[in-house]
Amino acid sequence: MRHRRIAAGGLALGVVLLTDVLRVWLPGIITIFGQAASTPAELMGAFALGWFVLALATPALIRRVGARRVTLVAAVLLAVLRLALTASPGGRPQLWLATAGLLAGLVWLAGAAAATDQPVPGLALGLALGAAGHAVLDTYDLVWRGDVLAWLVSAVLVLLFLATQAVRSGPPGPGGARAWLLAGPALLLAGMLALSPAVARTASSYLWGEDGVAVSPVFGLAPVPFAVAGFLLAALAPLPRRVGRLLGPVVLLTGVVLFALDRGRLLLPALLLAAVGLGFCLSTAARASDGPVAGGTATSARVSGGPGTDGTTTSDRAARRAYAATGGLLVFAVAAVAYYSAYDLGYPHSWVPVTVAGLVAAVVVTAPPDGRPVPVPLPAVRTTAVVAALALLGPLGGADEGPLDDNRGEPRPELTVVAYNIRMGFGLDGRLDLPGLERAVGPRTPDVVVLSEVDRGWLLNGGHDTLDLLADRLGLPYVFAPAADTLWGDAVLTRWPVSAPRTRPLSAVGAPTGAQALAVTLDLGEGLRVAVVSTHLQPPPGQGPVVQAREVAAFATGYAAGRPLVVAGDLNTQPGDPAFGELTRAGLVDALAAARPLATSPADDPREQIDHVFVTPDLAATGAVAPPSTASDHLPVAVTLTLPRGR
């Protein structure tokens, strides 16, 4: 039992390290390999899938060299490359380090599968520890922090992982392939929904908001310990197999279908149901046999390498498990590419997570009965209590900014507005650059920050809640509105009390990515109220966003109802273009006119004036600038507005 506990702990730590690498590698496909959407989506997909296909050769390598040698070499490479990523300067070196780390992780997992017939305790613990750790870190990974504490924690994780790999475990039993097949789908569903701290906080923020928008919650990570506890208890202390065989798939599919409905207020029940359902599915698959194996013959084959009653040798069964693990990870890659490519190619994609959950359900429901008792090497209740307590440190580590009505400042005659397309928080070097974003925005002490391309938990971008992380740094509460989906859209950050938030979806007009307009009213005191609209126009291929600009102008002026109005964001149109004219014809004024030309894109060589601030004529604009920064592929624009009195 001691060796099995060490093996489960080693598998868990390896899953944590592999997840860390994935959180760097996945966004690198977009920000570094994709070169700000200049690389065709098909080529990016081929690059992503190619490494998972290459990993399918691992079982053959294991047959030739042996599982232990392959696993140890891959484990060392995974550990070294994980540490190297923390020191990476970004750019192509970061991409190739992450790619090498990914391949090492895939090979290591296949080797671990060949030598392990009971993967679920370790897999479940690894997924739960990864979620708990991400919550403690407030979704800001150790890899991106790079400080002394981050290096110390990373080194401890790596050393513990290598120590567990050096311990020899007993010979594996005959089963496990069915459970290993679920490793990839479980990694996808856990990272996309079930065990994502960023999704948990976004779900909480929708519960605090109204009319389809989300606002800063207090203790937004509170659902994470419940999700982690439900998942681990279901995985380690399973129901009777007949019950779990049906209950797990039903609960999992219900949660994933709620997620696919793309409604903010359904996110929290979707997350909790998916976590519990995924745990039940893993535990049920772990107790399924891969074929009829008699107890005595199985034991004999386990030791001697000879054939069992199903005619397979120990080597055959090891290869079967390795192929199951690599095949499941290929499902992860195909599903991730299929899901997120939809935002570039414009096809319906809600079927992807539902299909993956259906695959998990099919594996569980069709599992043959297994008469062997399967001891779980980890104490279910104690393990769950420890990991859930770790996850609890996230919400207890500090509350968010809290309700917007508690953030009133002293009335001022001026309002400083910053508009910034933050590209999900990733700089031109491909690193998550929260300090750079803060430096670009913070020195001007803005009253209002309007953000475009805000990511709140996409697995493709590493599962970070970029909005909340930046809001914490700036000390500003936020209002968020979904555009592409419930986790990606636009935001307004402000220290002033906010009322009457509204969001208006904009016509797609052939553009694959969704767009919206978010309107809020700021109460500046002494009876002065200002309407602010945040939007990110998405033009159809080869055209300008004329239709969307017309819709935004009508929505914004109607919402303001004669009050002072600010419309800002990445509008993907330049002065003199037809879409630009739609906004000026609505009576709005270019607040950046005095500083023209004021190019904002691309950030390292600005040539296009596509980020704008429009205002009503009663707001006088001064001091317009586009400060240099490489924290995004756009530059921010900032302007000071003088307010009318007595409005």
| 155-167 pLDDT per residue, tens | 999 999 999 998 8
Per-position DSSP letters for 404-430, written without gaps between them: GGG------SEEEEEEEE-GGGB-TTS
Hey, what are 580's tokens?
Answer: 């630009």
Q: How many CA atoms lie within 13 A of 481 on its CB side?
A: 27
| 334-375 pLDDT per residue, tens | 999 999 888 877 788 899 999 999 999 999 998 876 545 456
Closest CA relative to residue 415, chosen from 639, 125, 171: 639
Mean pLDDT of 68-93: 94
Reduce the DSSP state of residue 216 to 3 states and report it. coil
Tell me if 114 sits within 8 A of 322, measured CB to CB. Answer: yes
Residue 30 has pLDDT above 50, yes or no: yes
Tell me if 376 sits within 8 A of 605, measured CB to CB. Answer: no
Pairing of strands 214-215, 478-485: antiparallel
* Contacts of 398 by beta carbon, 8 Å cutoff, 6+ apart: none
The predicted structure's pLDDT at residue 309: 47
404-642 is classed CATH 3.40.50.2300: no
The predicted structure's pLDDT at residue 294: 35
Starting at the edge strand found earlier in the chain, the sheet holding 414-421 runs: 214-215, 478-485, 488-494, 448-455, 414-421, 637-642, 620-625
Give the span between the Cα atoms of 41 and 322, in whole angstroms: 30
Mean pLDDT of 505-516: 87
pTM of the model: 0.93
Element (H, E) at 480: strand 478-485
The predicted structure's pLDDT at residue 412: 64
Query: What is the gyration radius of the CA atoms in the chain, in angstroms?
Result: 26
Closest CA relative to residue 486, chosen from 161, 178, 214, 109: 214
Hey, what are 449's tokens?
Answer: 């920050």
Element (H, E) at 164: helix 148-166
Question: Residue written as tokens 């769950």?
Answer: 384
Question: Residue written as tokens 């479940």?
Answer: 124
Question: Residue written as tokens 């695959």?
Answer: 359
Residue 378 has pLDDT above 80, yes or no: no
Residue 96 confidence class, pLDDT cut points 50, 70, 90: very high
Give the span between the Cα atoms of 405 and 150, in whole angstroms: 36
Looking at the DSSP assignment, which residues form a beta bridge with residue 478? Answer: 493
The predicted structure's pLDDT at residue 538: 92
Hey, what are 394's tokens?
Answer: 């996230």
The predicted structure's pLDDT at residue 406: 45
Question: Residue 15 to residues 183, 227, 321, 405: CA-CA distances in angstroms?
Answer: 10, 18, 17, 42
Closest CA relative to residue 16, chosen from 117, 113, 122: 122
Residue type, 647: R
Hey, what are 41's tokens?
Answer: 């989506």
Tell me if 493 sits within 8 A of 449, measured CB to CB. Answer: yes
Give the span between the Cα atoms of 141 and 151, in whole angstroms: 11
Give the span between the Cα atoms of 548 and 192, in whole angstroms: 30
Dihedral angle, C-alpha 331, 337, 342, 343, nearest 10 °:
140
Pairing of strands 620-625, 637-642: antiparallel
Task: Give the number of other CB atoms < 10 A from CB of residue 94.
Answer: 23
Closest CA relative to residue 106, chosen from 12, 184, 47: 184
CATH level 2 (architecture), domain 2-396? Up-down Bundle (1.20)
N-to-C CA span, the chain:
74
| 549-595 pLDDT per residue, tens | 999 999 999 999 999 999 999 999 999 999 999 999 999 999 999 99
| 181-230 pLDDT per residue, tens | 999 999 999 999 999 999 999 999 999 998 899 999 988 999 999 999 99
The predicted structure's pLDDT at residue 89: 84
The predicted structure's pLDDT at residue 330: 97
- DSSP tag of 174: S
| 421-478 pLDDT per residue, tens | 999 999 999 999 999 999 999 887 899 999 999 999 999 999 999 999 999 999 999 9
Residue 302 has pLDDT above 50, yes or no: no
Residue 296 confidence class, pLDDT cut points 50, 70, 90: very low
Residue 83 has pLDDT above 80, yes or no: yes
Residue 287 confidence class, pLDDT cut points 50, 70, 90: confident
Residue 133 has pLDDT above 50, yes or no: yes
* Contacts of 73 by beta carbon, 8 Å cutoff, 6+ apart: none
| Residue with the larger pLDDT of the pair 484 and 52 | 52
Residue 545 has pLDDT above 50, yes or no: yes
Q: Return the minimum-mean-pLDDT range out of 20-24, 60-64, 135-139, 310-314.
A: 310-314
Question: Residue written as tokens 């990511």?
Answer: 455
| Residue with the larger pLDDT of the pair 293 and 487 | 487
The predicted structure's pLDDT at residue 298: 38
What b-and-e string marks burial along 531-550, b requiring 16 or more CB atoms within 10 Å of the CB? bbbbbbbbbbeeebbbbbbb
Residue type, 218: V
The predicted structure's pLDDT at residue 345: 78
Give the span between the Cα atoms of 577 and 243, in whole angstroms: 63
What b-and-e string marks burial along 157-168, b requiring 16 or more CB atoms within 10 Å of the CB? bbeebbebbeee
Is the bond into 403 cis (omega within 30 degrees of 0)?
no
Segments making up each domain of the chain, as ranges: 2-396, 404-642
Average of per-residue pLDDT values in the chain: 89
Give the span between the Cα atoms of 614 and 643, in whole angstroms: 14
Task: Give the number of other CB atoms < 10 A from CB of residue 438.
Answer: 16
Tell me if 481 sits within 8 A of 491, measured CB to CB. Answer: yes
Reduce the DSSP state of residue 565 to 3 states and report it. strand
Q: Where are the alpha helices (DSSP H) in 29-66?
A: 41-54, 58-65
Q: Helix (H) and strand (E) counts for the chain?
A: 22, 13
Is the bond into 307 cis (omega within 30 degrees of 0)?
no
* Contacts of 638 by beta carbon, 8 Å cutoff, 6+ apart: 416, 417, 418, 419, 444, 446, 623, 624, 625, 626, 627
